[in-house]
Amino acid sequence: MPLVDLTAPAGVVTEITDYQAGLRFTDADKVRFKYDQAEKIGGWYKRDASASNAMSGVPRNIFPHRDKDGAKLILYGTSTHVYAEYSNNIRDITPYRTDTQTLTNPFTTGGAGTSIVTVTDTAHGVAYTSPASRVIIESIATMPLDGITVTAGEYYATYVDANSYTITAVAGGTGSISGTAASGAVTGGGSTEVRYLVNNGPEDGLTGFGFGAGLWGAASWGTARSTSGVVLSPRVWTMDSWGEDIVASIGGGEDTIYYFDVSAFIAAPTTYRGTTLGWYVNSIGGDNTNIPTKVGVVLVSTPDRHLTVFGCNPELSSTYDRLTVRWCSQESLSDWNTAITNTAGSQRLGTGTNIESASKGRGQMILWTDVDLYGMQFTGPPFTFSFQQLGEASGTISKNSPAMIEGGSFWMGIDNFYAFDGAVKTLKCPVLSHVFNSFNQTQREKVFSAEIIEFNEIWWFYPSAGQTEVDKYVIYNYIDQIWSIGSLSRTAWHDAGIYTYPMATDGSGFIFNQEYGYNDEAGAMTAYVETGFFTGDKAGNSLFFVDKVIPDTTFTGGGTKEINFQMKTKLYPNTTETTKGPYTLAATDGRLNFRARGRSFQSKYYSDNADIGWRLGTWRMEAQQDGLR
């Protein structure tokens, strides 16, 4: 019998029926395409610093960095903390949002027999969050109080009202509350110094309801919205280098710029915490009065070095404007107000409702609103920067969706994928419906891109319908312009660079080295790829009889070199399928003998062995025209 080619072209297509797809791949998981052939992706394992210590909160930012001496560290921004990985240890460096506050007799005991302690501090700024945000009690003049002893240390601050909160000692911290109230409702503590950490942010996106939600004219004035397209975003940090130090923002116009003094951290990694930029500027004798108090994305322009915020309170205003770009004078952290003697300035974008993201491109910074694309280019005095609208109806779906590759930009929009290399282009995506027809729009701010330059790939991770956390991905090979799909739970990613392997985090707070080995941590990884239903002749007129498959697979790794093969047959596109297999084929097997009959055939290749990688080659089957009997 003649041999028939079983080799499908590279890439996955889901926009057509399995019958239309024919001998093309229509489904995959943990598979990429290399040299035009399907290949199992690399494995992953927990980084040594994270092997048994999960971070608190959900991490959505990874920022590898070097200091002036070449020392390497990584910052992770989560919904509740900022951590630094240094010298194989994870340190909590969550920044202070205030200076030290001196309070007088701030403690009040709860009911008799309880250990409840309430702290009174007018306009304390602690947010109503779950889990509770944190406060550092630096010193207490007088204790015990009514039978209760509160020590200096770290506490959860549970919001009561705008002027008070209750405290609970953080497990494993230096703070403690011992004893119970003898009488109850006793106030004291004397002179007490406290310092608040940045408030926790939400882990998940929420739909905004109530008064003011939605667009103007969408419903009756003066009535609360029960539905809306307004989405309140989860906490997503942005970070950038300022020399050897790091500037950061929690985004959304909730807070000011934060600053991490890397040399101070390396000198005292167990005790260091970041601060507001204002506190740092003041500590080095600068003027912090003009630093924006409410900012969105933060970025340092290069090579001209202007500290820039995208979304902020304009000069002489305390109201957050989602479309205002504002930059500090060149090489300055404090000179924010426009003057003839500096290069500070601002610009309000003309379209969109929010600056979602900003990245450094070739010769300019690229800005994404929720609607359009802008370029921001350094031009020097008198205006410092010029702005140009680069694209319409091509905004990004999230802050971390854009990927910058060799000066070009790629991003995921609300309902499509885009690229910019001098002009905005819509990417032809054969898996578009697979992504957007099963997508949780409420959690769209969790979408992020993951570059793997080694394989010319951009991955977009996203939450599928019904899921609150990221669980799916789509891969785009920007050289071969082919796509793949699959499932993997990750929350942030950074490609290899100053570290050997790409790094990623999951929703449990663990950190992984990706593209290492072949396994899902210590266990086997299941990977598969499946074709559509292809026919023996072009029109599908004839039945075919198959009795042999000749495999061609390249194996790597030290595990059992096997791949599983399964074939399904049909008489007609909508009739019941018949399954043959799965059959296990070893690297030494020259052929597989079996019998199958049908008008159309579907092949599936998969593995679930540990310590093994594979790439498909040219598979063939022996087939001839046949009848029903």
Over residues 87-136, the pLDDT tens digits come to: 999 999 999 999 999 999 999 999 999 999 999 999 999 999 999 999 99
The structure tokens listed for 186 are 């006793």
Pairing mode of beta strands 355-360, 365-369 = antiparallel
Q: What ranges in 328-468 are assigned the alpha helix state H?
A: 432-436
Is it the case that residue 230 has pLDDT exceeding 80? no
Q: Are 32 and 486 in contact (CB under 8 A)?
A: no
Nearest CA to 357 out of 57, 59, 61, 97 is that of 61
Tokens 């970025």 appear where? 299
Mean pLDDT estimate for the chain = 94
What Rg do the C-alpha atoms of the chain give, in angstroms?
29
| CA–centroid distance for 179 within its chain | 43
Query: In whole angstroms, what is the distance from residue 41 CA to residue 515 CA?
Result: 7
Q: Assess whether pLDDT exceeds 50 at residue 485.
A: yes
Over residues 549-557, mean pLDDT: 97
**Model confidence over 531-550: pLDDT tens digits?**
999 998 877 888 999 999 99
Please give the Cα distance from 351 to 358 (Å, whole number): 15
Q: Compute the distance between CA of residue 249 and CA of residue 301 in angstroms, rounded to an integer.
A: 16
Contact 623, 2 (CB under 8 A): yes
**Range list of β-strands (E), 392-520:** 403-405, 408-412, 417-420, 424-426, 448-452, 457-462, 472-477, 482-487, 492-494, 503-505, 511-514
pLDDT of residue 213: 46
Tokens of 60: 């959505």
pLDDT of residue 436: 98
End-to-end CA distance of the chain: 18
Residue 281 three-state SS: helix
Q: How many CB atoms neighbour CB 375 within 10 A?
A: 18
Torsion of CA 505, 510, 516, 522, to 10 degrees: -140
Neighbours of 15 (CB within 10 A): 13
For 183-199, give one letter per residue: b (16+ CB within 10 A) or e: ebebebbeebebbbbbb
Confidence band for 349, pLDDT divided at 50, 70 and 90 = very high
Copy the structure tokens of residue 393.
């109806």
Please give the single-letter amino acid code of residue 569: T
pLDDT tens, position by position, 387-425: 999 999 999 999 999 999 988 999 999 999 999 999 999
Unique residue bearing structure tokens 């500027």: 281
Token pair in block for residue 482:
């082919």
State yes or no: pLDDT of 208 exceeds 70: no
What are the helix (H) ranges across 423-479? 432-436
The burial class, CB within 10 Å (0-12 / 13-18 / 19+), for 147 is middle
Distance CA(329)–CA(110), nearest Å, equals 51
Q: pLDDT by residue (tens digit) across 268-301?
A: 999 999 999 999 999 999 999 999 999 999 999 9
Bridge partners (DSSP) of residue 37 are 34
Q: For position 125, what pLDDT does the model report?
A: 96
Rounded average pLDDT over 150-174? 97
Give yes or no for residue 218 having a pLDDT over 80: no
The CA distance from 128 to 120, in Å, is: 15
For residue 52, pLDDT over 90 is answered with no
**Whole-model pTM?**
0.94
Give the whole-angstrom CA distance, residue 173 versus residue 132: 15
- Rounded to whole angstroms, the Cα distance separating 448 from 426 reads 18
Please give the order of strands across the beta sheet that includes 258-260.
238-242, 245-249, 258-260, 275-276
What residue ranges define each of the domains in the chain, with the CATH number in brackets? 3-23+525-626 (2.60.120), 45-95+232-514 (2.130.10.10), 101-196 (2.40.30.20)
Beta bridge partners of 419: 410, 425
pLDDT band at 221 (very low <50, low <70, confident <90, very high): low
